[in-house]
Chain A
Amino acid sequence: GAVVSQHPSRVICKSGTSVKIECRSLDFQATTMFWYRQFPKQSLMLMATSNEGSKATYEQGVEKDKFLINHASLTLSTLTVTSAHPEDSSFYICSARGGGSGRSDEQFFGPGTRLTVL
């Protein structure tokens, strides 16, 4: 299947600093990527939809100034958690739609990034 990577896989930072997480589609072009967060033992919650070349669309309750999303190319979307605080500690997962060969309806997920804010 199509491969989506995330970097870093784990990050620990001090409160007040900013952290950037990258999401890449390795073998296909993704016009749309999605960012989710997952708290321990809970399900995934959609944060925002990232479209290449345009502004991200945020879900209700997600602060756009805190979670900056950039989708500069068809294979890369970045999520920057600005001025991170301990309550931002979570598991962040991206996904990308498409994969060519008629698989545009499938959605492939990255391995996730565990953020710990001290």
Chain B
Amino acid sequence: SQELEQSPQSLIVQEGKNLTINCTSSKTLYGLYWYKQKYGEGLIFLMMLQKGGEEKSHEKITAKLDEKKQQSSLHITASQPSHAGIYLCGADKEGAQKLVFGQGTRLTINP
């Protein structure tokens, strides 16, 4: 069974539009990581959230972790072609940084 559910699985948006990707766990998490991956390449670290209610921003990307530490969202404002790729959420379930990943969200930005 999938331990982390990401939605949507794929997303196509017009350049300049905002978008949100969600990541949901049935269990409370020690930490929640967001990464970006281009096909066939490694993962680029985006953000890590550990505290319930925490919110972090970097450039046009904002990530939030809910109070129960079971759901996170990644929001991109005014999307650009450079934002295209696969976004993965990874959850640290045990506090040992052994990450379980969601199935990924493939983001396409149309010019």
A: residues with CB less than 8 A from B are 1, 4, 6, 32, 34, 42-46, 49, 91, 93, 95, 97, 105-112, 114
Partner of B42, one of A45, A105, A106, A110: A110
Partner of A34, one of B33, B40, B50, B98: B98
Do the beta carbons of B43 and A109 come within 8 Å of each other?
Answer: yes
Can you sample 8 A-B contacts with CB below 8 Å?
Answer: A34-B99, A44-B90, A44-B99, A46-B100, A49-B98, A105-B50, A109-B43, A112-B41
Assuming A105-B31, A105-B50, A106-B48, is B42 touching A46 (CB within 8 A)? no
Nearest CB on B from A70, distance (A) = 19
Do the beta carbons of A111 and B45 come within 8 Å of each other?
Answer: no
Instruction: Provide the main secondary structure of the chain A interface.
Output: strand
B: residues with CB less than 8 A from A are 31, 33, 35, 40-45, 48, 50, 88, 90, 96-104
Find chain B residues with CB under 8 A from A91 CB.
40
Do the beta carbons of A32 and B100 come within 8 Å of each other?
Answer: no
Nearest CB on A from B52, distance (A) = 16
Nearest residue, chain B, Cβ from A5: B42
Partner of A105, one of B41, B44, B90, B97: B97
Do the beta carbons of A34 and B97 come within 8 Å of each other?
Answer: yes
Do the beta carbons of B48 and A46 come within 8 Å of each other?
Answer: no
Query: 6 tightest A-B contacts by CB?
Result: A111-B42, A109-B43, A43-B101, A44-B101, A109-B42, A112-B42
Nearest residue, chain B, Cβ from A97: B97
